[in-house]
Amino acid sequence: MSVLSSDAAAGWHALADRVLTGHALTVEEGLAILHSSDDELLDLLSATYRVRRRHFGHKVHLYFLQNAKSGLCPEDCGYCSQSKISDAPIPKYALLNETKLMEGAARAVESKSRTYCIVASGRGPSNREVEHIAKTVEKIKSTYGLHICCCLGLLEPDQAKRLKEAGVDRINHNLNTSRNHYPEICTTHTYDDRLATLKTCKDAGMELCSGLIVGMGETERDLVDVAFELRALEVKSIPVNFLHAIDGTPLEQKGELDPRACLRALCLFRLANPTVEIRVSGGREVNLRSMQAMSLYAANSMFVSDYLTTKGQPAEDDFRMVEDLGFEVVIGDHEAYEMWKASRMEAEAVTV
């Protein structure tokens, strides 16, 4: 904390003041956040919350994730239960049909989510898969009015263009870790491959969602480097995942993380990216445990319900957590869904 002030509370709030007036967090400051003591944690969270509140108020955006294609992946990402080197007993299936994807969209609306995330395993989609997703997204948009984010792996320019035309608002493609640490996590594609897909999607006119997984053996400097890389990429949303070590993956022996360290990481990403949506994501239930609610003093969005191959806590618990904080869930503009539901009820009444 000495790089900021001899008084912890004053130092963190002084840093927040600088960030609020346009200061870009430095490497030294980022490391100081991660090195801060437990005694400083509440002061750090208080200062971070001032930045979150300035840009996002008391609002919380909910995301609903649909695992649209599970397993069958040729990549060797060490954290992933769906990779070719994983022995985890997970469901394996090809890309879901339109009916299943539409059912997921309906569940997203019912769970008060603003954004529906369609995720498919694999190195990257075939053109046929892209076309199937694009046509389904068009129907989801006209029926439910949801904000759509797709996570489909490495994308070519023509594929990105088609998804944009169909109404995909945002592409998720996580950096996962720093450039320095990336070879320790994956060898079948490179960090630069991921950067290239992000550039391709940005050039196509879609917003970028990109984040990381904390707890894969990276250093604190690696976390700072990712925070700054995402700042340079001008992403709109940063999902901060915490490793949920899954049996059958190379990282299965990694234990649960210190929940206070998880909160410091969220503070780092908020203060390094003050105007960007920060989402507390996979592994929050396992690693933050009883301190989950405190994460929303730094983050302003979260996934509701389940993840790709792991279970989340019940949506009702998430709603209660937001309510108990005095925060408010941002309900998406589902006018199209309400019109569709009204027309269906009318048709059913006529049939009866």
Q: What is the mean pLDDT of the chain?
A: 90
- pLDDT grade for 80, boundaries at 50, 70 and 90: confident
Which residue out of 149, 150, 262, 267 is catalytically annotated? 149
Alpha-carbon span 166 to 159, nearest angstrom? 11
Instruction: Please state, for a pLDDT cut of 90, what percent of the chain lies above it.
Output: 73
Query: Is 117 tagged catalytic?
Result: yes
Pairwise pLDDT comparison (266 vs 74), residue with the higher score: 266
Q: Residue 146 pLDDT more than 70?
A: yes
Which residue out of 73, 150, 151, 262 is catalytically annotated? 73
Please give the domain boundaries of the chain with CATH numbers for all domains: 8-51 (no CATH), 57-340 (3.20.20.70)
Mind listing the pLDDT tens digit for each residue in 168-206?
999 999 999 999 999 999 999 999 999 999 999 999 999
State the pLDDT at residue 310: 62
Which residue out of 114, 162, 231, 279 is catalytically annotated? 279
State the pLDDT at residue 157: 98
Mind listing the pLDDT tens digit for each residue in 39-78?
999 999 999 999 999 999 999 999 999 999 987 888 888 7
What's the rounded mean pLDDT across residues 217-234? 97
State the pLDDT at residue 93: 85
∠ CA 172-177-182, rounded to 5°: 115
State the pLDDT at residue 176: 95
Q: Residue 309 pLDDT more than 60?
A: no
What's the rounded mean pLDDT across residues 321-336? 82
* Eight-class DSSP state of 283: T
Answer whether 243's CB lies under 8 Å from 79's CB: yes
State the pLDDT at residue 1: 46
Query: Is 150 tagged catalytic?
Result: no
Q: First CA to last CA across the chain, in angstroms?
A: 70
Pairwise pLDDT comparison (127 vs 256), residue with the higher score: 127
Query: Is 186 tagged catalytic?
Result: no
Pairwise pLDDT comparison (19 vs 304), residue with the higher score: 19
What's the rounded mean pLDDT across residues 222-243? 97
- pLDDT grade for 83, boundaries at 50, 70 and 90: confident
Which residue out of 209, 262, 264, 267 is catalytically annotated? 209
- pLDDT grade for 113, boundaries at 50, 70 and 90: very high
What is the number of alpha carbons within 13 Å of residue 79 lying toward its C-beta? 24
Alpha-carbon span 41 to 162, nearest angstrom? 46
State the pLDDT at residue 2: 44
Alpha-carbon span 148 to 173, nearest angstrom? 14
Pairwise pLDDT comparison (251 vs 129), residue with the higher score: 129
State the pLDDT at residue 350: 61
State the pLDDT at residue 299: 98
Pairing mode, if any, of strands 170-172 and 237-242? Answer: unpaired
Which residue out of 50, 52, 53, 80 is catalytically annotated? 80
Q: Residue 252 pLDDT more than 70?
A: no
- pLDDT grade for 116, boundaries at 50, 70 and 90: very high
Query: For 144, phi and psi rounded to 5 degrees?
Result: -115, -15
Dump strand ranges (E) for 243-321.
277-280, 301-303
Which residue out of 117, 151, 201, 262 is catalytically annotated? 117
Single out the residue of 74, 87, 75 nearest to residue 186, CA to CA: 75
Query: Is 73 tagged catalytic?
Result: yes
